[in-house]
Structure 1
Amino acid sequence: MGLIEANGNAPADVVRRQYLASAAGDLAALRATLAPDVEWTEMAGFPLAGTYRTPEGVTSNVMEKLGADWEGWAAHDDQYVVEGENVVVLARYTAKHRGTGKQLNARVVHHFVVRGGLIVRFEQFVDTALVRDAAQA
């Protein structure tokens, strides 16, 4: 995709800032990428399945819980496909479950919709069986 301008408002730039903030554990910076009425959907079968609204709702119900349950949780944004306000990211999750000690390495696809420099919608697609298996003894 090339270099991404760190402070740009192009859809891919906004999404990249979200991944960087997540990787740094900077939840305030992550919330700054989300629209006030964001709809953030974690896939059915994922431990945190559901749709969360508001930047605070997303970080408290998703990022903070992932950090509590998984050591080193990371979403690696490997490849971007951009069409207008739609940004699809081919990514990977890596982590170690705190309860079981099992490693997770799962491919994932994230679909973002970015309007006005903010993420308004997110949908996750992941092999939930891999996540479940790492979380079960």
Structure 2
Amino acid sequence: MNNLEVVQNLYKWFSEKEFDQIRTILSPNIEWIQNKGFPNGGIHYGIDQVLSGVLTNFKKDWKSWNAIVNQWLDCGDAIICLGYYHGIHRITEKSIKAEFAHVYWLQDSKIYKFQQFTDTLIIQKATEKE
């Protein structure tokens, strides 16, 4: 599996909630950087922290959450994904659409670093009651 396929599988397996499969493509010492202000934002280290602290947590606060990739940029050891988030907040029932750029760095077909770029204000507003 090449690096682009690894990252494409990550999105596929996340949408299918195949967390055991995701585990196979993450480096044990992965560094996962999410924007501050984003749900579970901050820096997360290691597979367990990424899976429990980030990826599986969305179902708690969001009725639905999708990351839709419109463009894949293969940069060799790095893959850049451009797209948007679409979600509906569980409590407020507000829906969002926020564009993102995701950057993944890979070595030996394992993701060892992720960095997110998105407008967190759009997402925060969806969590606020009126």
Asked whether the two chains share a fold, i.e. TM above 0.5, the reply is yes
RMSD: 0.9
Greater shift in the superposed pair: 110-119 or 67-76: 67-76
2:78 to 83, 86, 94: 86
1:124 to 92, 116, 120: 116
Q: How many residues align?
A: 129
Alignment of 1:1-137 (within 5 A): 8=1, 10-137=2-129
Q: Could you list the runs of 5+ residues in structure 1 that have no partner in the other structure?
A: 1-7
Q: Write the deviation string for residues 81-119 of structure 1: whole angstroms up to 9, x where unpaired.
A: 111101000021111000100001111110000110110
Identity of aligned residues (%): 28
CA distance in 2, matches of 1:27, 1:67: 13
Structure 1's consecutive aligned runs of 4 or more residues displaced over 4 angstroms after TM superposition are: none
Cα displacement (A) at 1:47: 2.4
TM-score, length-scaled by structure 2: 0.95
